[in-house]
Amino acid sequence: MSDRAHVALYGLDLARLAAYYTTIAGFEIHEVDDGFTTLHVPTLELVLVRVRPEHADAAAVASPPKRREDTPIKVSLVVASLAAAREAAPAVGAVVDPSDAEWTWGGYTRVDGHDPEGNVVQLMEIALND
């Protein structure tokens, strides 16, 4: 049993998604199976679940990925540095929006981006002057 919150994210290429979340947001791989990969940070378990084959065509990812902004859910993750995340994102097939798109609210400087499959992810770093 764990006191972590749990989030499930469906995807086609779990290895590529795991590379993004470990590189950009500091998750550690906890468990890997054929149909899922479980990632941990101290307060969250992120379960990457493989899209079932019969749904794969509907979940196809363009190259480069098109941002999926038509979903009512957006994951927000704390990172040590937005600049470092922005620099590392292309190597894992992702995008972090430019610094002029950042805003500060609630003690964090925030910026959107997307993972390698186009899922919108907001990254946050502790604001220096809030």
| Alpha-carbon span 52 to 59, nearest angstrom | 10
> What is the reported pLDDT for 62?
76
Which pLDDT score is estimated for 54? 73
Domains and CATH numbers, the chain: 5-54+65-126 (3.10.180.10)
Phi, psi dihedral angles at 30 (to 5 degrees): -100, -45
Is it the case that residue 118 has pLDDT exceeding 60? yes
Which pLDDT belongs to residue 65? Answer: 79
State the DSSP string of 14-56.
HHHHHHHHHHHH--EEEEE-SSEEEEEETTEEEEEEEPPGGGT
- Per-residue pLDDT tens digits for 36-90: 999 999 999 999 999 887 766 766 677 787 888 888 889 999 999 999 999 999 9
Helices (H), 1-130: 14-25, 82-88
Q: What is the pTM of this model?
A: 0.87
Of 3-12, 49-58, 70-79, 105-114, where does mean pLDDT reach its minimum? 49-58
